[in-house]
Amino acid sequence: MGNAFIYESLLKKGGLASTTNRLSVLEVIGNSTAPLTAQDVFETLRRSRHVNRVTVYRILELLVEKKLLERISGGDRAFRYGMGGKAGQKNHPHFFCTGCGSMECLRPESIHFDMAAFVRTFTGEVEKVEVRIDGLCKNCLKMKQKSE
């Protein structure tokens, strides 16, 4: 676990004890290039050791509550999880493929959202901005074009 110290520091920042399961969940998500479903996290952990599915779900919810992870809405009703703001992750948009269900992170500058203009016209308090673009990934688009 090369990033163990980083994940231990994040848990401490969130006011949480550093347990093996919490560290493992952070490591799986932190090492992923794309947001993962709870099932993805569970299956990855289960390959290397015994872990309870309910424990994984509870850890994910706790880490979201502490803002160490962010919960991202998928176009298929399944949430995905990625590193959160307290982990130094910049807010960024995501692309969800309606063909295969994959989700990928997009660069923060790929979409411009003028938060200052929004706040001037909105009287409430913004807690989170989530931008998701749905469509077909390049692989699904190729498959669709082949079948036409």
Residue numbers in the known binding site for Zn(2+) are: 97, 100, 137, 140
Query: Residues annotated as binding site?
Result: 97, 100, 137, 140
- 3-class secondary structure, 36: strand
Q: Going by DSSP bridges, is the β-strand pair 94-97/103-105 parallel, antiparallel, or unpaired?
A: antiparallel
Are the C-beta atoms of residues 36 and 29 closer than 8 Å to each other? yes
Please tell me the distance from the alpha carbon of residue 102 to that of residue 72, in angstroms, as a whole number: 13
Element (H, E) at 103: strand 103-105
